[in-house]
Amino acid sequence: MDNNHLKNRLDKMFFPQSIALIGASDVPGKWGNLILMSVLGGGYTGKIYPVNPKKDSILDIKTYPILSDIPDDIDLAIITIPARLVPDALKNCISKGIDSVVVISSGFKETGSEGAELEKEICRIAREGDLLFIGPNTMGIASAHHHFEAVPTPTAARPGGLAIISQSGNLGLQIMKWTAHKDIGLSIYAGTGNEALLKASDLVTYLGKLDEVKAIAMYIEGITNGREFREHAKIITKKKPIIALKTGRSKSGSKAAQSHTGSMAGSFATYSAMFRQTGIIQVRTPSELLNVAAAMTHLPVPKSNRVGIMTMGGGWGVITADECEDSNLELPALSQEIIKDLDNLLPDYWNRSNPIDVVGEGDPDLYLHVIEALAKWDEIDSVIALGIVGRSMFIEDMIECQEKIDGKIFSRELKLSILKDQIKTEQRIISGIGRIQKETGKPIPVVALTEGGLILTDTEYGGVISLSTPEEAVNILAHMARYGQYLSNSNI
């Protein structure tokens, strides 16, 4: 299938104007009901045609007994019926003129030899009928910009720049949910399942050409067309980052992958080498996948591994410096110009080194001045800011404690006013960091005095990312720096 032909099929798949749901149901918990509820609840505005021979209507939507009874053209069919019925359903799609299909149904090669033969049959039918399907054994697909979610549980992810390709349905949905909860912004979600016909390499090429996609996150158990995938990835990573979580590095994990989607995990070392050669950013955990993908979607890419650090306390600076060294990030010694500049603002006893310890000073303008001085310095390409936001949480705890002891010491109005002022101050700091980040083109992750992992804050200058620990910030920058160096070497 040539690229234009494939793009046309995938456009219909992810941006359909009309959908036929084969196996639609009004029984809660059944796949035909879960998918229908998700499509409706996600705000999809196209036409929906449920197909069920036993129902006249489902959720007050006219239902058709067979696909051929639908009078209109259909862009996409979604199949949720038992595996043994899928071959005939695909033949009906071809007769109806439908050439893009999502096969939710399981019971194929992941179940053994009989299922594998059935999977070969549906591939043969699809190829002979010039039909493209994703799956089988997938939990679905989504396109946030199109307000289209064909997954078993709605996520309400806002439209954004992150695309997700996952060979695992539950892991993919977890990343989708995190993306929604963290407000990172989703473009496309593709649960590829067994990848019987449509491969991850096809999707990488397609997503790489979509302007709305800024970064691609992948969960991979095994790739059957490794050489093709490598060639596709080499082209796309020069335009936008691909972040991959490859599982199966242990014998137990490799065996589990094979029973899950029927994937042969292959040599983990081989995959890692291929990722390095193609510029794919390899991560080891789902949370790391989300963190790095969010950063790659919203932050500028550093040109090198040189980092400047500003910290509210010495301990965090030491920890961060250690983490940087372990991650091959360099901390250049401060220039005399920066030292002279900061001598006018900091106490005489400040450390005059990188990391810069602002020794407990509480002036937000000072924080922004130090961050900007570092970000504008030619000797570094990213900045980590430690401990300058999140104090509002401590004020909340102090208010609660004081009210338990003696609520009369301060009026509640005064206490809430102090909290409100602190929140405003932190918002001003984050906005200032957003401005500096945009003006310098250098990423500035923030380590906050909060819990809960990554937090994305939208500012008028773009997104600012806050994290709970120094090691998270260092890990993100280490991956980003390696990608930046890959881009630089690719342009030589």
pLDDT confidence tier of residue 260, bands split at 50, 70 and 90: very low
pLDDT single digits (tens) 362-394: 799 999 999 999 999 999 999 999 999 877 666
* Rounded Cα gap, residues 184 and 157, in angstroms: 8
User: 255 pLDDT exceeds 60?
Assistant: no
pLDDT confidence tier of residue 249, bands split at 50, 70 and 90: low
Q: Are strands 215-220 and 159-166 parallel, antiparallel or unpaired?
A: parallel
Instruction: Work out the average pLDDT over 86-111.
Output: 97
Beta strands in 222-359 (DSSP E): 242-246, 281-283, 307-311, 356-357
pLDDT single digits (tens) 434-445: 999 999 999 999
pLDDT single digits (tens) 323-344: 999 999 999 999 999 999 999 9
Give the pair of three-digit tokens for residue 37.
Answer: 């509820």
User: 264 pLDDT exceeds 60?
Assistant: no
Q: What pLDDT is attached to residue 89?
A: 98
User: 10 pLDDT exceeds 70?
Assistant: yes
Alpha carbon separation from 479 to 219, 279, 283, 296 (Å, rounded) = 17, 11, 9, 9
Q: What pLDDT is attached to residue 343?
A: 96
* Rounded Cα gap, residues 485 and 487, in angstroms: 5
* Rounded Cα gap, residues 475 and 9, in angstroms: 38
Lowest mean pLDDT among 76-90, 264-278, 395-409, 419-433: 395-409
C-alpha Rg value of the chain to the nearest Å: 26
Q: What pLDDT is attached to residue 182?
A: 94
Q: What pLDDT is attached to residue 392?
A: 67
Is pTM beyond 0.85? Reply is yes
The SS3 of residue 52 is coil
User: 273 pLDDT exceeds 50?
Assistant: yes
Does residue 41 or residue 407 have the better pLDDT? 41
pLDDT single digits (tens) 139-196: 999 999 999 999 999 899 999 999 999 999 999 999 999 999 999 999 999 999 999 9
What average pLDDT is seen over the chain? 92
pLDDT single digits (tens) 99-134: 999 999 999 999 999 999 999 999 999 999 999 999
Name the percent of the chain lying above pLDDT 90. 82
pLDDT single digits (tens) 36-50: 999 999 999 999 999
Strand partners, 386: 311, 447
Beta strands in 255-306 (DSSP E): 281-283
Name the percent of the chain lying above pLDDT 70. 91
Beta strands in 192-264 (DSSP E): 215-220, 242-246
pLDDT confidence tier of residue 412, bands split at 50, 70 and 90: low
Q: What pLDDT is attached to residue 251?
A: 59
Count CB neighbours of 238 within 10 A.
14
pLDDT single digits (tens) 447-472: 998 777 899 999 999 999 999 999 99
Instruction: Work out the average pLDDT over 398-413.
Output: 66
User: 298 pLDDT exceeds 70?
Assistant: yes
Does residue 474 or residue 360 have the better pLDDT? 474
The amino acid occupying position 374 is L
CA angle 419, 425, 428 (to 5 degrees): 145
Q: What pLDDT is attached to residue 409?
A: 58
User: 220 pLDDT exceeds 60?
Assistant: yes
Domains parsed from the chain with CATH numbers: 1-137 (3.40.50.720), 139-298 (3.40.50.261), 302-490 (3.40.50.261)
Give the H/E segment covering residue 286: helix 286-298
